[in-house]
A and B are shown apart, each in its own frame.
Chain A
Amino acid sequence: MIEHIDVHAVLQRTVCHLYSDLVTRPTGHAVRRGIQEAVADRRQAGELAVVVIDFSQVGLVDHSCADEIVAKLLLDLRRDDPVRCCVIFRGLTEAHLEAIVPVLEHHGLAILVQATEGHLEPVGRLSGEARRVFDAADDGSLELAKIAGTTGLDERAAARALDELLACQLLPPPSAKGMA
């Protein structure tokens, strides 16, 4: 099951119906709680494989909100979610990423971002090998020998890179492939 969360709608519901900018830490905290409640509700209703967090309608994102809504959300989901659903961020502009990327670097995190053309790409702290393996595994194949062959890595390095991607929950399930 895929849950789509419109961050702008959460902002207007939880903080103020007039706001479109994600600024200040209390705002970020309230929006993160709103997202977490939506995820929890959906999880109670059934198995949740993918959460799409959509920033399309959001204006400015500052560092405080990037920390609360992206970094802390991921850290909380990883801590509290035994199933580890896949989280995909959609609608992020270059301006949003200016605030989000340093925050991810600060926490040593990486996220999956859906580009405007629809394809998924990892953003944040991730090794070069893991990025190569991510591209090689684009067709859903996780066969080590094949990935090693495509990336030019030896199998041990490919296995380490694959582990890194799995640990960061950066390999989307097949159900996420058709979202674009």
Chain B
Amino acid sequence: MTRVVEVPTSFDERTFDTFAASLATTANDERVLIDAHAARWASPYGLVGLLTAGAAVGQQTGQRPLLTVPTRDDTASYWARTGFFTQAAELFELHGKVPRERHRGESDVLLEVTPVRGTDDVHSVVGRIQQRATAIVASELTLDPKATVGFAMALSEACQNIVEHAGTGGWVGVQAYHWRRRLERRVVVIAVADYGVGFRRSLEATQARRFGDRWGDASALEAALIQGVSRFRDPGRGQGLAGIRRYLARWDGKISIRSGTARIAIVPSWDDDVPLAEHLPPFPGAQVLIIVPEQRDPEGKET
């Protein structure tokens, strides 16, 4: 029997839980069809989430899930431009017309969807983003050029979370786009996802006792993001997420991390997300979203 899991027409962090809820009902002996034929748009967060789902279903069922390609040409072309299909071809049996990936000189895709499996991949990602980020951060976001360094650092730390804590691989994508909801500005978005053990299992050995009955996905995320704890007993650990938080506080950015059945966020004034969401549909691994907005002075002019 084949279980159909629909991809929301607009697939981003807002609609992610609908997708996760549908995916969570699949059984081990079912063939899974992830149906994206009606999708019109997907954020980098949605795209790396889809890859995570593909990898997790493959592991769970022992067979590659099916994925229908969006029927809209502009959607499929965009997904191709992000490098999504290159990664998806390894995880899914693709159905539908996959456009050829064409690289444009000027593109909103700052970093194609890229696998992260080891430290070499992190070096490669950081090297590539620095070349493009300097232009985009300074010109599009009108940030101080020094912010580029912090941006690359945040990207590095987010990717290292996969290597050090997930126990498996994952993907990262970076893109600039116009954020219509409330903000009405350009933003640069880093999306990182893995299909590993998740924050709760990663921190369980060192933190569960401290939290007692409260221990769960939400308290694990709180420990990692707010308290800066790490699964390693080394006192120098846990500074990566703290560094990302400092960077985002300086540039009015947002971070949210979803793992298991919970999601935690540092929410800037321009966003209406909740700081902590619990009892969400379970989803494998961890998904990190970092958003840096264009800078404007209080009168709305670019700084």
Residues of A within 8 A of B (CB): 16, 19, 21, 23-27, 59-60, 62-64, 67-68, 71-72, 94-95, 98-99, 102-103, 106-107
Contacts and interface: CB of A to CB of B under 8 A. Distances in A.
30 contacts: A16-B123, A19-B123, A21-B127, A21-B130, A23-B156, A23-B160, A24-B119, A24-B122, A24-B123, A24-B163, A25-B160, A25-B164, A60-B126, A60-B153, A62-B126, A62-B243, A63-B157, A63-B239, A63-B240, A64-B156, A64-B160, A67-B236, A67-B239, A68-B236, A72-B236, A94-B146, A98-B149, A102-B243, A103-B239, A106-B236
A125 B45 CA distance: 38
B235 A64 contact: no
Contact of B153 (A25, A72, A98, A106): A98
Given A63-B157, A95-B149, A106 B123 contact: no
Nearest to A67: B236
B119 A106 contact: no
B150 A98 contact: yes
Contacts of A67: 236-237, 239
Given A21-B126, A25-B160, A106-B236, 18 more contacts: A23-B122, A24-B163, A59-B130, A60-B149, A62-B153, A63-B153, A63-B240, A63-B242, A64-B160, A67-B239, A94-B146, A98-B149, A98-B150, A99-B243, A102-B239, A102-B243, A103-B236, A106-B239
Contacts of A68: 236
Interface of B: 119-120, 122-123, 126-127, 130, 146, 149-150, 152-153, 156-157, 160, 163-164, 235-237, 239-240, 242-243, 246
A99 B150 CA distance: 9
A60 B152 contact: yes
B243 A24 contact: no
Contacts, number: 74
Contacts of A21: 123, 126-127, 130
A125 to B, nearest CB: 14
A95 B235 contact: no
Nearest to A30: B119
Nearest to B129: A60
Contacts of B123: 16, 19, 21, 23-24, 27
A59 B152 CA distance: 11
A16 B150 CA distance: 23
Interface centre among B120, B122, B236, B243 (most CB of A within 10 A): B236
A132 B210 CA distance: 42
Contacts of B242: 63, 102
